[in-house]
């Protein structure tokens, strides 16, 4: 969907109507595959941020934390509480890094997409935005969650894990099998839809009224993207906790 | 933090070769909104975040301080209890020693009393023995004197005649007369 510029007498508009390019990707060729380079570039920026922050904050560790160390300790406690609420007291410990990674990567991706001025860098095709506005990213995260809860169930209960498909009654077997497919589907589409839709709305509003008016929408977008990160992490923890419980 | 253009200036040849370029128009438009959003975020979010973090810091320092206070209290109590234990041990030793001494003294007293009894009974035994011995000696003496007088009488009776008897009586009268004359 490209809003065309009216070119009458080839007048160059001082105000360039902003274009929204959906579906246009910046491709890189790696071997036989074509990858979406814009997602890779923004993902690298997110990774750099997420690595730099703890490294800087844990420089001078003190018993009574101050400043940045206090902040990341607070974040860690938040993630730990989240995991503990979903998975119970005994077995939440090993999964805190995984849930923390999910939460933080999605959160920083979404907020970096919404807050950083990516439009400064103009690519030949496509544009830089949040890495989670690409369905490939969100499907990858959802599949990771799927693999995680399968692994958790199998590791904890062995092959009796597959007994959960006939709980509580064998009549529900097809629904339980279907659930294994709908869980990653819903996770991926929820995140993808939210982020892409917010970006599109903001872009359309900017193209209509460039100043002030998009601001409430951007704030709402920040709020919903944060909620989406929280939801993804919570659901991941809930699925893992659910597959680990049982008669244990 | 360096500005964006500085990052890309040395790489400009690479950048333009790859088709990436720096956009400065939309730069203005959306950047204003972004700055607005960021300022609102910081303005409201900073207060909340700072109060949260300060709360957390205060709770942590309070907890640490409480724990340290309890630790010093506990060590003091331990110290005092140790001192009391020492005193109690010393008293216990004293009591034990005095008890032992008393036990010894009583034993000694019993032994002494027994010794005294023993000595007393020995004395009485000796006395009785001596008394019996003397009685026996007396008896033997009496026996011997009786026997002697008996034998004397027998011998007198055996060799005494009437004439000899008359001579003896005259002799004794004459001796008695001479004695009374003196």
Residues of B in contact with A3 (CB under 8 A): none
The pLDDT of A77-101, averaged and rounded, is 92
The pLDDT of A152-160, averaged and rounded, is 86
Count contacts between A and B (CB, < 8 Å).
Answer: 80
Closest approach of A26 to chain B, Cα-based (Å):
10
Residue in A75, A213, A214 to test binding to B, most B beta-carbons within 10 Å: A214
Higher pLDDT, B18 or A235: A235
Give the span between the Cα atoms of B121 and B113, in whole angstroms. Answer: 12
**pLDDT computed for residue A29 by the predictor:** 83
- Asked whether the beta carbons of residue B20 and residue A121 sit closer than 8 angstroms, the reply is yes
Domain range summary for chain A, segments of one domain joined by +? 26-244
3-state SS of chain B is CCCHHHHHCCCHHHHHHHCCEECCHHHHHHHHHHHHHHHHHHHHHHHHHHHHHHHHHHHHHHHHHHHHHHHHHHHHHHHHHHHHHHHHHHHHHHHHHHHHHHHHHHHHHHHHHHHHHHHHHHHHHHHHHHHHHHHHHHHHHHHHHHHHHHHHHHHHHHHCCHHHHHHHHHHHHHHHHHHHHC
| pLDDT per residue as tens digits for the range A172-188 | 888 888 999 999 999 99
The pLDDT of B81-108, averaged and rounded, is 96
Residue in B7, B16, B35, B37 to test binding to A, most A beta-carbons within 10 Å: B37
**pLDDT computed for residue A120 by the predictor:** 79
Residues of B in contact with A117 (CB under 8 A): 27, 30-31, 34
Residues of A in contact with B41 (CB under 8 A): 115, 219, 222
| CA distances to A110, A126, B86 from A24, in Å | 20, 5, 87
**pLDDT computed for residue A11 by the predictor:** 44
B131 pLDDT more than 80: yes
A214 touches chain B (CB under 8 A): yes
Give the span between the Cα atoms of A231 and A234, in whole angstroms. Answer: 5
| pLDDT per residue as tens digits for the range B40-59 | 999 998 889 889 889 998 99
For B32, the closest chain A residue by CA position comes to: A211
B1 pLDDT more than 50: no
Higher pLDDT, B26 or A80: A80
The pLDDT of A156-162, averaged and rounded, is 83
**pLDDT computed for residue B85 by the predictor:** 96
3-state SS of B140-153 is HHHHHHHHHHHHHH
Say how many CA atoms lie within 13 Å of B86 toward its Cβ. Answer: 5
Give the span between the Cα atoms of A48 and A247, in whole angstroms. Answer: 42
The pLDDT of A108-134, averaged and rounded, is 86
Q: Residue B145: which pLDDT band, with cuts at 50, 70 and 90?
A: very high
| pLDDT per residue as tens digits for the range B57-92 | 899 899 999 999 999 999 999 999 999 999 999 999
List the single residue in A16, A65, A117 with the smallest CB-CB distance to B34: A117
A18 touches chain B (CB under 8 A): yes
**pLDDT computed for residue B17 by the predictor:** 55
**pLDDT computed for residue A1 by the predictor:** 47
Which tokens sit at A196?
């892409």
Q: Rounded mean pLDDT of chain B?
A: 86
For chain A, how long is the longest CA-to-CA vector?
77
Most confident of A158-162, B21-25, B176-180: B176-180
**pLDDT computed for residue A8 by the predictor:** 46
B64 touches chain A (CB under 8 A): yes
Which tokens sit at B75?
């060590």
A3 touches chain B (CB under 8 A): no
- Asked whether the beta carbons of residue A66 and residue B57 sit closer than 8 angstroms, the reply is yes
Which tokens sit at A243?
């597959």
**pLDDT computed for residue A67 by the predictor:** 80
Give the span between the Cα atoms of A24 and B14, in whole angstroms. Answer: 22
Predicted complex ipTM exceeds 0.90: no
- Asked whether the beta carbons of residue A222 and residue B23 sit closer than 8 angstroms, the reply is no
A7 pLDDT more than 50: no
**pLDDT computed for residue A23 by the predictor:** 64
DSSP string, chain A: ---PPP-STTPPPSSPPP---SS---EEEETTEEEEHHHHHHHHHHHHHHHHHHHHHTSS--SS--HHHHHHHHHHHHHHHHHHHHH-SSS-GGGHHHHHHHHHHHHHHHHHHHHS-GGGEE-SSS----GGGSHHHHHHHHHHHHHHHHHHHHHHHGGGGGGGGGSS-GGGHHHHHHHHHHHHHHHHHHHHHHHHHHHHHHHHHHHHS-SSTHHHHHHHHHHHHHHHHHHHHHHHHHHHHHHH-S--
Closest approach of A248 to chain B, Cα-based (Å):
35
**pLDDT computed for residue A45 by the predictor:** 93
**pLDDT computed for residue A19 by the predictor:** 57
Share of chain A above pLDDT 70, in %: 90
**pLDDT computed for residue B10 by the predictor:** 52
Share of chain A above pLDDT 90, in %: 44
Q: Rounded mean pLDDT of chain A?
A: 85
The pLDDT of A138-156, averaged and rounded, is 92
Residue in B23, B54, B66 to test binding to A, most A beta-carbons within 10 Å: B23
For A66, the closest chain B residue by CA position comes to: B57
A93 Cβ contact partners less than 8 Å away, ≥ 6 residues apart: none
Residues of A in contact with B49 (CB under 8 A): 71
**pLDDT computed for residue A9 by the predictor:** 44
**pLDDT computed for residue B25 by the predictor:** 66
Q: Is the peptide bond before A168 cis (omega within 30 degrees of 0)?
A: yes
Please indicate, yes or no, whether the overall pTM of this predicted structure exceeds 0.90: no
The pLDDT of B91-104, averaged and rounded, is 95
**pLDDT computed for residue A124 by the predictor:** 79
Higher pLDDT, A236 or A126: A236
- Asked whether the beta carbons of residue B22 and residue A120 sit closer than 8 angstroms, the reply is yes
- CA-wise closest residue to A96 among A115, A122, A76, A123: A76
Give the span between the Cα atoms of A235 and A223, in whole angstroms. Answer: 18
Residues of B in contact with A114 (CB under 8 A): 37
- CA-wise closest residue to A87 among A99, A71, A75: A99
The least confident of A20-24, A193-197, B112-116 is A20-24
Closest approach of B79 to chain A, Cα-based (Å):
28
**pLDDT computed for residue A4 by the predictor:** 53
Higher pLDDT, B125 or B165: B125
A65 touches chain B (CB under 8 A): yes
- Asked whether the beta carbons of residue A115 and residue B34 sit closer than 8 angstroms, the reply is yes
């Amino acid at each position: 969907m490209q809003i065309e510029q009216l070119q009458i007498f080839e007048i160059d508009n001082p105000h360039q109507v902003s274009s929204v390019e959906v579906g246009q990707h910046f491709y890189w060729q790696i071997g036989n595959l074509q990858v979406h380079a814009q997602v890779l570039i923004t993902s690298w920026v997110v990774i750099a941020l997420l690595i730099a922050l703890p490294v800087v904050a844990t420089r001078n560790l003190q018993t009574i934390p101050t400043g940045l160390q206090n902040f990341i300790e607070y974040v860690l406690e938040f993630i730990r509480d989240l995991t503990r609420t979903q998975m119970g007291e005994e077995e939440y410990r090993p999964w805190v890094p995984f849930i923390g990674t999910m939460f933080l990567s999605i959160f920083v991706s979404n907020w970096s997409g919404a807050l950083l001025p990516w439009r400064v860098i103009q690519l030949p095709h496509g544009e830089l935005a949040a890495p989670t506005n690409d369905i490939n990213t969100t499907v990858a995260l959802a599949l990771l969650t799927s693999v995680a809860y399968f692994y958790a169930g199998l590791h904890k209960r062995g092959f009796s894990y597959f007994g959960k498909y006939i709980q509580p009654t064998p009549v529900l077997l097809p629904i339980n099998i279907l659930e294994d497919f709908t869980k990653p589907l819903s996770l991926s589409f929820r995140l993808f839809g939210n982020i892409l839709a917010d970006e599109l709305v903001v872009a359309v509003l900017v193209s209509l009224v460039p100043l002030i008016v998009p601001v409430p929408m951007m704030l709402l977008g920040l709020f919903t993207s944060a909620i989406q990160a929280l939801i993804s992490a919570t659901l991941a923890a809930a699925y893992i906790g659910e597959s680990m419980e049982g008669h244990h | 933090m360096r500005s964006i253009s500085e990052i890309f200036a040395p790489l400009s040849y690479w950048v333009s070769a790859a088709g990436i370029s720096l956009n400065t128009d939309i730069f203005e438009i959306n950047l204003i909104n972004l700055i607005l959003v960021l300022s609102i975020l910081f303005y409201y979010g900073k207060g909340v975040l700072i109060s949260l973090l300060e709360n957390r810091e205060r709770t942590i320092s309070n907890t640490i301080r409480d724990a340290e206070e309890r630790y010093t209290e506990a060590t003091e109590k331990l110290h005092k209890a140790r001192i009391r234990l020492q005193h109690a041990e010393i008293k216990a030793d004293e009591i034990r020693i005095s008890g032992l001494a008393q036990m010894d003294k009583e034993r000694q007293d019993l032994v002494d009393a027994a010794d005294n009894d023993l000595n007393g009974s020995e004395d009485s035994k000796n006395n009785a023995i001596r008394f019996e011995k003397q009685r026996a000696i007396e008896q033997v003496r009496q026996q011997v004197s009786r026997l002697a007088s008996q034998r004397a009488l027998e011998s007198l009776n055996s060799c005494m005649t009437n004439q000899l008897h008359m001579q003896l009586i005259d002799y004794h009268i004459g001796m008695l007369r001479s004695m009374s004359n003196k």
